[in-house]
Amino acid sequence: MGTLLLHNPISMAKRPCPSQISPAAPPPLNQMDELLETFLSSSSSLSVDLSFDRLLESRASSDSDQAHLIDTAVALGSALLHAAKRSARKRASSHNSLYWPLPRELTINVFSMLDTQSLCYAAAACSMFNKYARDPPCYANIDLTTIVPKVNNAVVSTMIHRAGTSLQSLKLGIVPGPIVSPGSCQPLVYSIRNSVDVSKFSWNDKRSRQGKESSILTRSCLSPLVGDNGAPGTLLRRLHLYNIERMDNTSLCGALSACPSLLDLEIVGLHVELRQTLMSVSANCHLIERLFFESSKTGRDDSLKTPTCTDLVENCPHLTSLALRGFKLHDNKVRVLVKGFRKLRYVDFSTSYSITGGFLRNLGSSMGGNLLEVLILRDCMHLKEVEVARLLTAVIEGDYKCLKHLDISNKEGLASEGDWYDRCYKSSVIPIKQVLAERPDVCLLAEFPTEGSYIDIDQMADIVQESDVGLPSQLSSHISDASMFTSSSESSYNSDQGSGNEDGHDANYVMYEESSDEVEIDLNGGFYGAQAEVSLAS
Amino acid sequence: MALELKSSDNKIFEVEELVAVQSETIKSLVEDGCADNVIPLPNVDSKTLELVLDWCKNHVDMKLDEEKLKEYEDKFIEVDQAVLYDLLLAANYLNIKDLLNRACQKVADMLKGKTPEQIRETLNIVNDFSPEEEEEIRKENLWAFEE
């Protein structure tokens, strides 16, 4: 285009000039080169500016001459600018390819470690990166988690498509704050509460802002994984979903049925039923090694049944890490799980309701407990002091020989034997110091409310320093004022009473049956008696 | 059993075979019986080779101590960009998977959460897009650029 301009300056004139000016023949190339060289080397912006004005002045007599001059100047000026900028870009590209030290393959490797938004930004940095970022391996680990809703189904679909046969991992949804490593248990528990608030807030917002629905993930956001032969889901090894409001059982189970190679499944804050989800995993994901579920219904999902547990144990023998947080779990069912998974090393039942700890009896030396390295029972409302004592005694005696990390902290203290309303903050029965003495390899976290707490902060620091910390344990600052507990404890006890009659703002949420239908294995007559009391007292 | 490695600037490093074979490249040479003499490594300078060998040695020493090893790795990778790239390229050339991974992760961490302009600044790259091309790119991933 530039060449055209140089040769036909007159054809660019906006107003056709009448007879007066005869079209001059375009100067031959080398003459133009000389002209340009002279022009560029001997001009300054100011001199050009002034010369142009003078030239115009000299043609003041002919309006059309002036018009023509101006038009030509614009055309030629643009041509020069365009050519110069194009060359500048070429030089920039050269600079980039000379300066950037990593070859294509390694750059793509780096890109595959970026979250998807950062990858898009890298692709916008320069043309070299843009080219590299089109390579499917860059999208092997799709991370579309965001703090505020900005990803919709179309984006998910696009990224899955870009990954092609390189797809390995998909993370999706709303995560308030940076995602924490699976080792630490506190933040996710609290973030789920915050996020429920956040999403409730935005739900209301969206209702009032009709038309802004475009940034929401709907129930079919995972449908690109499903399909006929060679569907992307078959490649997926890791799937992490956070707080996707509109996800329901059918869609999730549908997606799981398309992911037979799944090794790592993390579900936080989805309105799905535990039983159905586990059944789907049982049926489809036989290679699964890590399951991390955090309920959106804090203690009200009571759907887990014993057959579900036995099926899961049978069909998914490779499970090494299991976390079920915020569900209503019964000891006998949990026992099936912990005993049945032969390779189980990591267990986290934080903020579970109903489990008393009875499931741990005689487990430490048998199949289930032998390989256990991490056991987290933080903030389990019904965890009994007496069961914890039993557990710690077993640990002292050498059971749970692989145990590295044990967390029995509870911000409301432990439940007493008779009446679980009666909280125990100071126990003479729990042999904490002995554990530290006999089993220095175990990192023990036992944080209880300050008033009456037998573990104060200084001792806490000692415990952590003494033992070989196997995991990055987070010393939480939840040792709060006991006076706060008398009021808050009421509300937390009450929250257990609900059986799913709450705001069904998710129409798809299935009401689960009462657990009384089942035959329950009576491990200890007394302890089921206590449980019956609990469920009746509303 | 000790091996001798020669860097690009002709410095000789004597290392235990156990340490050196963390490099798959060197391991193959040993297995093929080509490691009797000094092994030349023309793509790695002495400064980088020294760091790489330190990594390898510590990985042998701390093999069983996960926590200590992680601490070492975190500290090790806190280096200038230039050194980081050298390490990355050396790890690639010598085929040392864990070092390569860690170094790539570090570069990725440098880029995370940065805007295109910030990425350019960090990596000393120049924008070579025309305004039209930039607009195209924005449109391709509109969700990422919206606020």
Identify the pLDDT of residue A346. 95
Nearest residue on chain B to A115, judged by CA atoms? B112
Closest C-alpha among A316, A455, A422, A443 to residue A376? A443
Does the pLDDT value for residue B146 go beyond 60? Answer: yes
Identify the pLDDT of residue A179. 52
Contact B125 A101 (CB under 8 A): no
CA dihedral over A434, A437, A438, A444, signed as positive or negative: positive
- What's the CA gap between A140 and A137, in Å, rounded? 5
Identify the pLDDT of residue A195. 42
Chain B neighbors of A120, CB-CB under 8 A: 141, 144-145
Q: Is A206 helix (H, G, I), strand (E, B) or coil?
A: helix
Chain B neighbors of A175, CB-CB under 8 A: none
- A118: nearest CB among B66, B112, B120: B112
Walk along chain A (538 residues) in steps of 10 and give the mean pLDDT of each run: 45 50 66 88 87 91 92 94 96 95 96 96 96 96 92 94 94 79 42 41 43 72 83 93 93 94 96 94 96 90 91 95 94 92 93 90 70 92 88 87 90 78 73 84 84 48 43 34 34 37 37 38 38 36
Expressed in percent and rounded to 5, the helix, strand and coil fractions of chain B are 60, 10, 30
A116 lies within 8 A of chain B by CB: yes
Nearest residue on chain B to A89, judged by CA atoms? B128
**Tell me, what's the ipTM?**
0.95
- A102: nearest CB among B85, B144, B146: B85
B64 lies within 8 A of chain A by CB: no
What average pLDDT does chain B have? Answer: 93
Q: Is residue A486 classed exposed, middle or buried when 0-12, 13-18 and 19+ CB atoms within 10 A define those classes?
A: exposed
Inter-CA distances, A174 with A64, A177, A206, Å: 64, 9, 15
Identify the pLDDT of residue A420. 65
Nearest CA distance, B19 vs chain A (angstrom): 25
Identify the pLDDT of residue A505. 39
- What's the CA gap between A451 and A455, in Å, rounded? 10
Average pLDDT over residues B66-82: 92
Q: What is the pLDDT of residues A169-190, one digit of tens each?
A: 999 999 987 655 444 443 343 3
Chain B neighbors of A85, CB-CB under 8 A: 130
3-state helix/strand/coil string of A334-364: HHHHHHHCCCCCEEECCCCECCCCHHHCCCC
Looking at A209-342, list the stretches that DSSP marks H as alpha helix, in order from N- to C-terminal side: 249-256, 274-284, 306-315, 331-340
- What's the CA gap between A446 and A395, in Å, rounded? 15
- What's the CA gap between A340 and A275, in Å, rounded? 17
Contact B113 A118 (CB under 8 A): yes
B10 lies within 8 A of chain A by CB: no
Contact A127 B105 (CB under 8 A): no
A151 lies within 8 A of chain B by CB: yes
- What's the CA gap between A2 and A265, in Å, rounded? 58
Identify the pLDDT of residue B135. 95
Closest C-alpha among B84, B118, B121, B41 to residue A101? B84
B28 lies within 8 A of chain A by CB: no
Contact A81, A74 (CB under 8 A): no
Contact A118 B85 (CB under 8 A): no
Identify the pLDDT of residue B65. 81
- A113: nearest CB among B108, B113, B126: B108
Nearest CA distance, A127 vs chain B (angstrom): 6
Which residues, in sequence order, are CB contacts of A354 under 8 Å at separation 6+? A302, A328, A329, A330, A331, A382, A531, A534
- A125: nearest CB among B88, B119, B144: B119
Q: What is the pLDDT of residues B132-145, one digit of tens each?
A: 999 999 999 999 99
Contact B125 A129 (CB under 8 A): yes
A115 lies within 8 A of chain B by CB: yes
Contact B129 A127 (CB under 8 A): yes
Contact A170, A160 (CB under 8 A): yes
3-state helix/strand/coil string of A95-126: HHHHHCCCCHHHHHHHHCCCCHHHHHHHHCCC
Identify the pLDDT of residue A433. 84
Contact B130, B118 (CB under 8 A): no
- What's the CA gap between A83 and A87, in Å, rounded? 6
- What's the CA gap between A381 and A536, in Å, rounded? 17
C-alpha angle with apex A406: A404 to A409, nearest 5 degrees?
155
Identify the pLDDT of residue A21. 52
B113 lies within 8 A of chain A by CB: yes
Total Cβ atoms within 10 A of residue A48: 13
Identify the pLDDT of residue A153. 93
Which one of A115, A126, A405 makes the best mutation probe of the B interface by having the most chain B beta carbons within 10 Å? Answer: A126
Contact B130 A95 (CB under 8 A): no
Identify the pLDDT of residue A227. 75
Q: What is the pLDDT of residues B5-46, one digit of tens each?
A: 999 999 999 999 999 999 999 999 988 888 788 899 999 999
Structure tokens at A1: 């285009």
Kind of pairing, strands A169-174 and A264-270?
unpaired
Total Cβ atoms within 10 A of residue A455: 20
Chain A neighbors of B122, CB-CB under 8 A: none
B83 lies within 8 A of chain A by CB: no
Each as own residue / partner, the long-range contacts of residues B19-22 (CB below 8 Å, 24 or more positions apart, any chain) are B19/B53, B19/B56, B19/B57, B19/B60, B20/B53, B20/B56, B22/B55, B22/B56, B22/B59, B22/B60, B22/B96
